[in-house]
Copies of this chain bind each other. A is one copy, B any other.
């Protein structure tokens, strides 16, 4: 494979990640090409069709995520920190993409396995945080995961934005502060 071809393949992948993350997995191929500074022809040389491109990106992202979650769990530390670092890592990842892919039609078996693996890891992290009292126990672990995924998949989510902060605080508070009387 020629050097420029390899370079362009990477560029396409980067551009597609950005564009799909920003505009959803059905963004126009031409937009991806423009973002990469290439022609559509080049794009189709490297990936036979849109599905192939999306699939490659999804697989990469899931692998990154799986590896990161494994490390976080293996690293130990206070389970609350594991949870908030998980959130920090996930925010900004193109999950909305992966999620909408999951809903869409047939994914190859390899990716499904990855998705299950990631889901398991998240559930384990949530369960442990609850077991150790860092997260309130009046909601299901499944709900904790779903809720965090909602927070994290928002377009434009940031680690330090209001919703992220408020949700993390709400999760951590086993007994909410009493409602003060109007002053």
**A residues bordering B, Cβ < 8 Å?**
78-80, 132-134, 139-140, 143-144, 146-147, 150-151, 154, 161-163, 165-177, 179-183
**Could you show 23 A-B contacts with beta carbons less than 8 Å apart?**
A78-B181, A80-B179, A132-B183, A133-B183, A134-B180, A139-B165, A146-B162, A147-B162, A147-B163, A147-B166, A150-B163, A151-B163, A163-B167, A166-B167, A166-B171, A168-B170, A169-B173, A172-B176, A172-B177, A172-B179, A173-B173, A173-B176, A175-B177
Of B132, B146, B170, the contact of A182 (CB 8 Å cutoff): B132
Number of copies of chain A assembled together? 2
Q: How far is the CB of A84 from chain B (nearest CB, A)?
A: 10
Chain B residue with Cβ nearest A78: B182
Among A78, A172, A175, find the residue whose CB has the most chain B CB atoms closer than 10 A.
A172
